[in-house]
Amino acid sequence: MRKVLSVASECAPLVKTGGLADVAGALPSALAAEGWHMRTLLPGYPAVMKALKRVTEVWHDADLMGGPARVLAGKTRGLDMLVLDAPHLFDRPGSIYLGPDGLDWPDNPERFAALSRVAAEIAVDGAAGWKPEVLHLHDWQAALVPVYLRALGATGEVATLLTVHNIAFHGLAPAEKLEALNLPEWGFTHEGFEYYGKINALKAGLVYADMLSTVSPTYARELMRPQFGMGLDGVLRARAADLVGILNGIDETVWNPETDKEIAGYRTPKRKAANTLALAEEFDLPPGDGPLAVVVSRLTEQKGLDLLLEALPAYCGRGGRLALLGSGDKALETAWLEAARDYPNVGVRIGYDEALSHRMIGGGDAIVIPSRFEPCGLTQLYGLRYGTVPVVALTGGLADTVINANDAALSAGVATGIQFYPVTAQELTGAMTRLCDLFAQRKVWSRMQRKAMKQHVGWGASAPRYAALYEKIGSVE
């Protein structure tokens, strides 16, 4: 089989804060069917080290960014892993990115520069005889790899693909860290990884990687506009010929309404009812004739959940109920807890709970995702799989995966959800009202649910596209 090394800062089910982890965890098995053997290089966080069994040391360095480090090879949870065991960088409790104060760890530049540097050295020298043909890099945490490859004189020896999961995070560091991060001065220019006097790790990957991808076709187009490019739209326009959008998929064995142990399994929307009743009880919501919508999300401005707060009066006034699970911005957490006190039809849980998220998507009538921007989104795919109709903003992967219930789509029997644009409180209120209207038409609603459950949301279409990209840029044995 051909060989590819995936370099990521998180990977489900070992460690997860967002959709990047789901993608990193699902791609290896999806690509095996395409003839590619993928190993995953991951930092040695406590949870990752605990999960490793029967490991072999395949690389070591007495001083990697301030301390000793080694790479351990092993298999766990069906994944073929290379783990960077560097206790001075990764052996710390709590969030993998944030300190106890809720702010980025001050040494994040060193932590993920180390990950990138080790990936480059493995690509050049191998790990116990194993050398990849392609490096698949994920977000800013792995985006310095192409720079280190050039510094090692290995340009052209191994191909690099950088996937942007969320361009909002750049991995900035002060210029004074150039030497500490072992970065070459020749790259610290406007045409390189310099960004308003700082080091920009993501920009380094956008400039120097052989190929660029992002997680939906619409997001690929959006990234080249100032509204969405977060200051890097010019860099992406310059590399438009090398940028492709490939939709994420989901692990259909983990997200399967027939076998999900958290819910009463079902094949058809009709069997969802028991889960809906159980969910309403779990969130202490009253009975009602309106839909039970769910939200499973980070509470940030990006996700548009401040707009949903403004839509609650009209939605609850129509008998709609809502259950929310999430955490993030403290002001938004407080606002949603206050909403739960003000509206009997609203229930809120602050935190992260994977099992509860399954029960919510299994029991909800609809799932609401009003993001101001959304590279791909996975929760709408979970919703489709479970017949939980998505209500989404018309942006990024939400635009690519949901068929809006306009009159034409309803007449043709192809509608799978509700889209709204522009992303404002007024338009979202209209979408939630539309949700209530459609839910009241039981035959129409049931048809939408059945159509949603028939959508292809796995990796069957996307994995071959990644394999084709690897083939295009990879070396020939």
Interatomic CA distance for residues 45 and 92, integer angstroms: 7
What's 252's DSSP letter?
T
Burial class (CB in 10 A: 0-12, 13-18, 19+), 369: buried
To the question of whether residue 16 is assigned a binding role by annotation, the answer is: yes
Q: Which residues pair with 297 in a beta bridge?
A: 326
Closest by CA to 136, choosing from 27, 45, 223, is 27
Q: Which whole-number Å values give the CA distances from 434 to 203, 404, 422, in the listed order?
A: 41, 11, 15
% helix, strand, coil for the chain, step of 5: 40, 20, 35
Structure tokens at 272: 């969802």
Question: At 460, phi and psi to the nearest 5?
Answer: -60, -35
Single out the residue of 239, 323, 326 nearest to residue 276, CA to CA: 323
Report CA-CA distances (Å) from 23 to 228, 346, 452: 22, 31, 22
Distance CA 461, CA 345 (A): 39
Cis previous bond, 286, omega within 30: no
3-state per-residue secondary structure call for 300-330: CHHHCHHHHHHHHHHHHHCCCEEEEEEEECH
Contacts 24+ apart (CB under 8 A), 286-290: 286/321, 286/344, 286/345, 288/319, 288/320, 288/321, 288/345, 289/319, 289/440, 290/318, 290/319, 290/320, 290/321, 290/436, 290/439
CB 36 within 8 A of CB 459: no
The vertex-392 CA angle with 457 and 460, nearest 5°, equals 10
Q: Taking each helix axis from N to C terminus, what angle separates 273-282 and 354-363, rounded to the nearest 10 degrees?
A: 130
422: Cβ contacts below 8 Å, ≥ 6 apart? none
What is the three-class DSSP state of 385? helix
Binding site residues, as ranges?
A: 16
Binding site residues for ADP-alpha-D-glucose, as ranges?
A: 16
